[in-house]
Chains A and B, each alone.
Chain A
Amino acid sequence: MSQQGYVAAPPYSQAQPGMGGYQGGYGDGSAQPLYGHYGGPPQAFAAPPAGMMKSPVSSAAGMPPPPASNQYNPNVQQNGAHPQRYPAPPAASAYGQPLQSPYNSMASMAPPPAQQLTNQMSSMNLGNYGPMQSPPPATSSVAQQPFQTSLPAGMGQPQMPPGPQSPHMSPPQSPLASMPMAGQQMAGPPMAGQQMAGPQMAGQQMAGMGRPFPGPPPSGPGGFQQPGPGGFQQPGYPQQAGQFGGLMTGPQPGMPGGFPGAPGGLAGPPQKKLDPDSIPSITQVIEDDQVKRGGQVYSTNVRGQVPPLVTTDFTVQDQGNASPRFMRCTTYSLPCTADLAKQCQVPLACIIKPFANLPKNETPLYVVNHGETGPIRCNRCKAYMCPYMQFIDGGRRYQCGFCNCVNEVPVFYFQHLDHMGRRADFYERPELSLGSYEFVATLDYCKNNKPPNPPAYVFMIDVSYNNIKSGLVKLICDELKTLLENLPSEEGMESSAIKVGFVTYNKVLHFYNVKSALAQPQMMVVSDTAEMFVPLLDGFLVNYQDSRAVIYNLLDQIPDMFADTNESETVFVPVIQAGVEAFKAAECSGKLFIFQSSMPTAEAPGKLKNRDDKKLVNTDKEKTLFQPQKGVYEQLSKECVAQGCCVDLFLFPSQYMDIATMADVPSHTGGSVYKYNNFQVETDGEHFLRDLRKDVQKSIGFDAIMRVRTSTGFRATEFFGAVHMNNTTDIEMAAVDCNNALTVEFKHDDTLSEETGALMQCALLYTTINGQRRLRVHNLSLNCSLQLSELYKSCETDSLINFFAKSACRAMLNQPLKNVREILVNQTAHMLACYRKNCASPSAASQLILPDAMKVFPVYMNSLMKTAPMVGSTELSTDDRAHQRLLIMGMGVEDTRLLLYPRLTPLHNMDVSTETVPAPLRCSEERLTDAGMFLLENGHSMFLWLGQAIPPDLIQSIFNLPSLAHLHGHVCALPELDNPLSNKVRSIINGLIEERPHSMKLHIVRQKDKPEMVFRQFLVEDKGLHGGASYMDFLCYVHREIRQLLT
């Protein structure tokens, strides 16, 4: 079912006549409720909403049905419909609407939006719930209009907020002024002292959260936190200290115990402005988790235990379940039935990073050898021996935990059981006691039953005019000499077993014979690009150590050989084909490093032409920009995967390159795509080389095939990642490295039992860089529960957002972006509404109540919709969008998290005497100060932002320049100055660059300079530069949606 993808079938849109489609998503039993199932059968959406759904529908029906498409796009007409009531919406660009005002005006208006937001929210409240307080016009307008229109309207209406309400809105000014507002608010409820303990606590917390948005006016003062005692009865709830609780711990003492109804807050100083600190903060959540679980040992011995956040620094001890570094789930407690799953719409998924790097203090995987017969597997479901196999019958047989089949224990493997029913050798065998381990694979697991050869790395350099002129070719050739000395090798090996080969190309391909016996390398030109082949076997792929002299000679000559080239056309597909053919001939797998500067326009298979069309942006055809060209590229991916040929693409474009197509092969073969726009050796050289080094040296496995097995009752249905799938179960990857992550979605087949829980086993068959065939097995057990509250409690926001990001990025290939965004929002609302309905204590509808584990989910979601691929703006280059889309598809949890919420570190007031890195700030312009210096980084870009009023001594010590004005625009590295500040700043920057999977180029941005615009895109809590709501606006909108769902 999922295969149908996000097909924007007409029924889907028809299903939302009243409510902009939300009930469709929320759908009844027959519907595919979860957004993640982009592919639900269209008719499902058309089905009549069931049961509880009905009420919202009917209420919706009562409203003027706006066209579904308007939902996020308040259009002029609607604004114009009430001109007198909503005079002049100044910065009316709401969600998804193209940016109307130029950047500068935006900036200058920075303060007002918050104000407007406040106002607008109050107006919303008024409109819906506060007839008594709100001025009539507001009431009528809001009541009659679905959210989308009211949002801009409200924003454009500064005077809207009625006086009386503002006090409610304002957060209580607690004594802990220095604390983030949110904390203070929270403080109120938890006041309860024992943090989560008290049931009402929870309610209050929720309320606190909810407060900024819809003040529940009816209840009078203090009403809007009105959780009401007992609102939250779920027993499990209190344990999730997570959110504000963690925060609480610190401030608690300072918090007055009182605040039962949080009236204090109400009583606070009459502030008009809603404090942005009052909404849930990612930085805070991260910090809390770090405080709570950081530095601890996380033992994986408990089923369904929620691991610390990805940002938290912890040590994993494998005790039967795979480390969260390998497998991380969206929730660690699955709903027992499909109905429940459908109801809550929380995607059930697992993000698997089979080759994840482990910190030094964690044990590498043990290798198990079961001898000639190969690993022991269940006869029926073929699951590998693992801790979930139950030994019975005195150890003579074992029952498979996945399919319950009873198997004989092979004679050589027999072992007696102890009184616990455990095998006596339990602790001696990794496959019985650990979550992750490796088996030595036998010949049965090898291609053609022959042991594999060590893999090969082939460097394929575009030597067309552009690359020669930019100096790139020389740069690469020089770098390769040292780089190849450091090819990865297996532990304990003296030198790498990896073979290397070299190809240069423009319109034709040049292969090089670098056999060690030769005095000079030999060049072989293949100009028949229509049917590619490798002209030589012996001497093409060589051991670097043996042929070093010849290779040196070659690398020295290449830049000169082509120095006076004027060939500007290139080919591309034949280059990859050549690699595949070479591997075929050598019977090995491996990786191609392709350095390409332009779109392949030469006459050859895979020739591309410019199909970039900005006119398609924001139309139903926009998706075609991201769809790869079919035909030869599709076929090529298959061939690559079949041969275990991974393709890494380094692009140096100066114009459109059709990355959607060019990156198609890398994205199906587990390869990476790097892009350096307008590459210049001086500014981008180092950045590129760092990427290259990282890429060459990272740990990697080749010719991989992976399968995810589950215990009965559910199964893996969807796979998102840089993989190729020939059928519905086998995940094929030409290579899998430490950064590749695959997101797997699960569906129910049957009812799961709370008792046995849910098991999954991910088995990855691959070839090591030494040419050994191995099987890597990761096992994970989850809880199952009939209680939705369990599920919400065990949710993992970072994983959830990874899932959503990937599924949205896939969906946008088949659906208009508008639909994708709509579905994202709807599902967000559904998940939260379901929580509210089923898990939260009854409370006023006006309250926004978020599950503790998901409280920062909206900010991520909002940010996701503002990412380049999703935002639909003509100002972004199609290639950049396509590139980012592909990047996201292969990302792991940490990467998506960081991408969606960059790290903003203040550097101007750090303590330079210690090693500690300053705590990151929320990504919002308000956090910047004129006299400050901030480092922002999202794993792909890095900015050093310098305030206008930055003290000159700071500039002096960092840049060795008298003042900011002396700074030239194109600095891309900090000078090495020997002063504490400079040292520390550089060490922070270098540390980050080291840590991230990709290298980052440092952009230095001065406040109010033009490049600042780029920087601002990354302040994800603010309104998007290319469209997209601010965090606050989004939260309001989601809240409104939730309320509509609930009524």
Chain B
Amino acid sequence: MASYQEFIQQNEDRDGVRFSWNLWPSSRLEATRLVVPVSCLFTPLKERPDLPPVQYEPVLCSRANCKAVLNPLCQVDFRAKIWACNFCFQRNPFPPSYAGISDVNQPAELMPQFSTIEYIVQRAPTAPLIFLYVVDTCLEEEDLQALKESLQMSLSLLPPNALVGLITFGRMVQVHELSCEGIAKSYVFRGTKDLSSKQIQELLGLTKPAASGQQGRPLAPEDAAASCRFLQPVHRVDMNLTDLLGELQRDPWPVPQGKRPLRSTGVALTVAVGLLEGTFPNTGARVMLFIGGPPTQGPGMVVGDELKNPIRSWHDIQKDNARHLKKATKYYEAMANRSAVNGHCIDIYACALDQTGLLEMKCLSNLTGGHIVMGDSFNTSLFKQTFQRVFSKDFNGDFRMAFGGVLEVKTSREVKVCGTIGPCVSLNSKSSCVSETEMGIGGTSQWKVCGLNPSTTLGIYFEVVNQHNAPVPQGGRGAVQFVTQYQHSSTQRRIRVTTIARNWADAQSQIQHIESSFDQEAAAVLMARLGVFRAESEEGPDVLRWLDRQLIRLCQKFGQFNKDDPTSFKLSESLSLYPQFMFHLRRSPFLQVFNNSPDESSYYRHHFVRQDLTQSLIMIQPILYSYSFHGPPEPVLLDSSSILPDRILLMDTFFQLVIYHGETIAQWRKAGYQEMAEYENFKQLLLAPLDDAQEILQTRFPMPRYVDTEHGGSQARFLLSKVNPSQTHNNIFAWGQEAGSPILTDDVSLQVFMDHLKKLAVSSST
């Protein structure tokens, strides 16, 4: 049997699934004792170049409350043309089209290698993709210019039949009519007035006279397309819109000294959401919000327009001094939910030096699966390239985006689903698979993910419900089926079905097996997601304490030690890295708000709960590569001891890409050795990390902040704040090593952390 490593890797490659435990404890009691819940990271749309979608529709279990999809785990009676559902054990006849089925003629979904399979729904109506730009015009001239160019450029990236719309806002909100000739025409809304969706449609003249008789029913998409002057096919309004964007002016209302510009972000979004709600409900649409500052008026305002009142900080929030926070958050949450219901996702592109209110607005993207991109200015390559990458295409030439996804989880009866953590909203679908325990967004077996891309990953948490005294039959397997329906960027409706199964193990007799089936990377990320999810609603220290307790319990459960003898403590290989992940997680911006603005925290957390395992791990524990003359680049410990004068370091924290030149290297570089022919090798050394960085920059979304710094540079802080402070001003002399670079911090180092952990784990008192 292949090692668990291989098994895990294979599973991830095939199904996009990483379970914390790959053997499941067979009873609820044992499961809870494992500390880390049975859970998985699931990437619904994981790119599978080797998986062509099948051109037919899935066969469903006929039991009304099951409807599981036929899968390789089902028992099939080829002669009777009957299959048994592996979730509810219902016996179902095959549909007539499967008449030719036999041992040797099996449909794809029955083959083991198709545990993940994608169907194309043929009869579903197709609607074009919709892109609605919502653009802040209270920008500096250069920023606006850069943004305009980016937007104009994006028109060429859109599929020609996609519908596109433009809303601009400042003090007022303008919805631009795109179909008109001659005079540029726009509908204007006051930036301070909250409007219901119905009002918006009325004000935009979208409601037809009641005579049409289909009141309350949304317009059929075709009708709406004809009637909607605000959303037009790109190919038709390309020129028009390019001109319109070109003529876009900064918000013309004067901004008195000492004031912020009045920015009606809240109303602009309401209008955007209302417009789509009225015209294209349940059709894939992307609202792209570009902001250069916080909302300063109207509903959803985050800060007043007086510059003397700064925008809320964590300090204000902790002191309950953030006046607009609750109201604004509530406002955007309600809007996000509305948008989610209609299957529209909202992206936020916030470029400003100060905060822009992401804390309040984050739910817009978090609940709808939209992107958040945060930068300093629209006139940076960070924004420009990131934005461009939104429209990147896959190997088939399709956009790497999908809309209106609905993820359903079905479980075999010993397991129930507790919830998910990821960019989704609950669809409140109660079924027999739903556990009473909630973890993350729970209480449902279906979630809506309005915007998806191949890397969107959800953390899904399960509970073993089998009673201790009702053992699972030997060799039995627990199964989970993920059914993801979504609108492909080619406008097809598709269904992807992933069915997985794991063996049951008796935790008392097979604890070693279970331990070795532990996927510590997945577990670390899944626990981290739980922690981040808690951090949204709880105080930071509480979350840390909870994480610590879980870690200690895990160590107590699986560590090998003599009571009260910390030095005897040992962890098996499958758990050995876990404490280190936890150490870095504790220091990460996902749980620590110190040194981060509320917006930054929200931004980091946003990305953390949606990226796949690899990226998430990088976020928890950044990767550090060292470049030297001594050999090929090597990964080194994320430790201050790795910071050496004759090395170049490349650190990837996901959000930042830092190239750090050691003291000596920096001096050489300054002296210009790389220019000299005889020091070609030095030049190569200097270039090596740059090339590697480029590679990462090319693929990462959002594009990381790229930092090129050196010993003593101010930007070196990015590196210094991440590395394990094994050498600080407190212990540098005690260590007596000349290597490494001390960090000025009072944070504990990994060593200290581990010592404490051991002590606590072996302590008999806890």
Contact = CB atoms under 8 A, between A and B. Distances in A.
A536 interface: yes
A629 to B, nearest CB: 24
Contacts of B204: 527
A246 B591 CA distance: 105
Contact of A557 (B182, B188, B189, B195): B182
Which 8 pairs across A and B sit closest by C-beta, in order of nearness? Answer: A535-B188, A538-B252, A527-B203, A523-B185, A525-B187, A533-B190, A522-B184, A524-B188
Nearest to B199: A528
A521 B252 contact: no
A539 B252 CA distance: 9
Contact of A523 (B186, B193, B203, B247): B186
Given A528-B203, A531-B190, A537 B254 contact: yes
Contacts of B174: 524, 535
Interface string B169-182: 00010100100001
Contacts of A539: 252
A511 interface: yes
Given A537-B254, A539-B252, A526 B183 contact: no
A533 B184 CA distance: 20
A463 to B, nearest CB: 13
5 contacts: A525-B187, A528-B203, A533-B190, A537-B252, A561-B183
A528 B183 contact: no
B252 A531 contact: no
Interface string B146-172: 000000000000000000000000001
Contacts of B252: 536-539
B629 interface: no
A295 B193 CA distance: 64
B193 A528 contact: yes
B723 to A, nearest CB: 53
Given A526-B188, A536-B252, A557 B193 contact: no
Interface string B373-407: 00000000000000000000000000000000000
A561 B182 contact: yes
Interface string A352-389: 00000000000000000000000000000000000000
B310 interface: no
Contact of B190 (A508, A512, A528, A538): A528
A528 B186 contact: no
Interface in B689-742: none
A526 B186 CA distance: 9
Nearest to A538: B252
A678 B190 CA distance: 37
B107 interface: no
A526 B252 CA distance: 17
Contact of B184 (A511, A520, A526, A535): A520
A522 B190 CA distance: 18
B7 interface: no
Which of A526, A535, A539 has the most CB atoms of chain B within a 10 A radius of its CB? A535
Interface bracket on A: 20 to 34
Q: Which of B188, B203, B254 gathers the greatest number of chain A CB atoms within 10 Å? A: B188
B188 A525 contact: yes
Contact of A511 (B177, B188, B205, B247): B188
B183 A522 contact: yes
Contacts of A524: 174, 185-188
A955 interface: no
B190 to A, nearest CB: 5
A549 to B, nearest CB: 14
A820 interface: no
Contacts of B202: 527
Contacts of A560: 182
Contacts of B182: 520, 557, 560-561
A525 B188 CA distance: 6
Interface in A495-517: 508, 510-512
A523 B229 CA distance: 15
Nearest to A525: B187
A700 interface: no
A531 B193 CA distance: 9
Given A528-B203, A538-B252, A523 B172 contact: no
B253 interface: yes
B256 to A, nearest CB: 13
B184 A523 contact: yes
A537 B274 CA distance: 26
Contacts of A525: 177, 185-188
Contacts of A536: 172, 188, 252
A533 B172 contact: yes
Contacts of A535: 172, 174, 188
Given A526-B188, A536-B188, A537-B254, 11 more contacts: A512-B183, A518-B247, A520-B183, A522-B184, A524-B174, A527-B205, A528-B195, A533-B172, A554-B183, A557-B183, A561-B182
B146 to A, nearest CB: 21
A102 B203 CA distance: 53
B579 to A, nearest CB: 59
Interface in A550-590: 554, 557, 560-561
A521 B247 CA distance: 12
Contacts of B193: 528, 531
Interface string A803-829: 000000000000000000000000000
Interface string B339-353: 000000000000000
Interface string B193-213: 101000100111100000000
A528 B172 contact: no
B523 to A, nearest CB: 54
Nearest to B183: A523
A73 B174 CA distance: 63
Contacts of A523: 183-186
B729 to A, nearest CB: 57
